[in-house]
Amino acid sequence: MKPWKMGELKMNRTQKGAWFGLGGAVLGLSFMGTFYAAVFAPGDKVVGLETVKFLVGLSVAYFLVGLMLVFRRQSPVEPESDERDKTIQKNAAIACFISVGVSLGLASFIPSLVVGRAGSIPVFLLGVFNLIILQIACFVYGVAILIQYGCVRKGDKS
């Protein structure tokens, strides 16, 4: 196995999109974690407006640069996608759908464990739970695509 050299890394649009989605999911989950810390911090707020501005600016920059990199072709002969890409995307969508079901089940069950049967949670947190589930689904989708591209079977071309 020869060492990796700069410029040798070739990815198709599906792989670049998976990395983009994976990074966006991690950024979104960190943003949700910051929001959670700000809402539930005891006493004075831990997270200031500067932190929120930084995360929003980082998110905007990430998405603008990321979209440029995902949709830029490496060569003019690069195909849009082939049958293998479509199969990988279909399998990743199935994994994503399963993760949404599991996440929704946990999001329905865990709050009752935290606050108890007689407790209550603010209604605005339901939207936060849904955004967290969306970020988890994007993370699972990206990981599933990258794992499938990493598993090359005998006789398959990479």
Q: What is the pLDDT of residues 4-59, one digit of tens each?
A: 444 556 777 788 888 888 888 888 888 777 777 776 666 665 666 677 778 778 88
Which residue has 């990395």 as its token pair? Answer: 19
DSSP 46-60: SS-HHHHHHHHHHHH
SS3 state of residue 95: helix
Find out whether 96 and 137 touch, Cβ atoms under 8 Å: yes
pTM of the model: 0.72
d(CA 12, CA 44): 48
pLDDT in tens, 68-115: 777 776 666 666 667 888 899 999 999 999 999 999 999 888 888 888
Nearest residue to 129 via CA among 93, 100, 98: 100
Single-letter residue type at 5: K
Find out whether 110 and 44 touch, Cβ atoms under 8 Å: no
d(CA 81, CA 119): 51
What is the predicted pLDDT for the residue at 116? Answer: 82
Nearest residue to 147 via CA among 103, 77, 88: 88
d(CA 103, CA 28): 16
Residue 125 has pLDDT above 60, yes or no: yes
Which residue has 């407006």 as its token pair? Answer: 49
What is the predicted pLDDT for the residue at 4? Answer: 44
